[in-house]
Copies of this chain bind each other. A is one copy, B any other.
């Protein structure tokens, strides 16, 4: 029943599918940069000082089994272990930038091809995480993967819109290339058993959420942050509920709306292009999957008040979110380049949503390794379609998203990130199940057999 991440297999698979990342030669790099309008970097001579810096860089992260290659091809190799990856600095300035503000620059340097890479990015980052945990904080690579460069997050309504446009309005076509084909779920899937396909696991996730909410036919449901509308449609179709779903991404709402029309469900699912803070009305169920990461902890009390205002006395709610074991800011590069405004909270921080409103936590489940597996599926498909991504965007974009997806796998694998599903109700609500057995009813592992009847 244990989960063993088979790294060798992972690396082998990645090599087959070509997701192996910055495996560009310096010549290729030059071409990319030339293409991007940059002159080919002058290959300055590697000095003793450069080599000393490179060795120090490896030392401070506990001498991982990684080769550091410099711009003249000279290599600083690990003392003992057989190297699992090669990190290549194609210019001196890239190396210096990494030391100056690793968290921000490493991502940009990798994306732009000034740093290239041979081996598994996932494995590389896991090793760094491990060594850093053992060697303590303060080193440049700890900063690469975890901390610093954090800017204060305050998601005003306008700011929230900007952030969401940045991420979700890249284009539905882009996400369609690598998300599950059926439900377009850009959140952690649920692998009731690990051999499930991504499509099966996303359907299993949707059922898992619906079962936790104990949806009953006729229930009114409000969804905060509905993505491409998959969950809302699923709930209406399979559990006979009416859904009002909020999202501030125009592209996503347009997509969701047309899908609801096409499936003849627009009388039971309403998509509202608005901020979750404007939710009004009273509902039997509140659900939010993958939105809390965008809320920012300063707005947790506001979210709590929204829930308190809209949840009926015997209602239930579920929040599904990326989280942490202890508070820390989002990696600065991801927060700047990929997910503006993102903040994965610790459970302690999440309690700011619930405790001031006396909401009762009924169930917390941590699906961390499910997110790693989900991301592995995504990355595999992403690499299979990277040519298309490149033609839609550019090479830098391809590399940035590769780093983001691979880095996220590492973070979930080593427990830097968590995935919490939190079920809650009002303190006085005694309409509670005696056990959670109903989540694991027969047929639960066969997501294609959707239970149309609700399960009270």
Contact = CB atoms under 8 A, between A and B. Distances in A.
A42 interface: no
A359 to B, nearest CB: 7
Interface string A439-456: 110001000000000011
A193 to B, nearest CB: 6
Given A192-B435, A431-B3, A434-B194, A354 B325 contact: yes
B430 A369 contact: yes
Chain A interface residue bracket vs B: 35 or more
A4 B363 CA distance: 20
A3 B432 contact: yes
Interface in A333-379: 346-348, 351-352, 354-356, 358-366, 368-370
A363 B360 contact: no
A409 to B, nearest CB: 13
A126 to B, nearest CB: 10
Contact of A440 (B326, B364, B432, B437): B437
Interface stretch (A87-95, A163-171, A254-262, A410-418): A410-418
Contact of A193 (B359, B365, B434): B434
A437 B192 contact: yes
A1 B434 contact: yes
B436 A439 contact: yes
Contacts of A4: 430-431
Given A3-B434, A435-B440, A358 B413 contact: no
Contacts of A347: 347, 351, 355, 361
Nearest to A438: B1
A130 B438 CA distance: 31
A1 B193 contact: no
Interface of A: 1-5, 130, 133, 191-194, 214, 325-327, 346-348, 351-352, 354-356, 358-366, 368-370, 413-416, 418, 420, 426-440, 444, 455-456
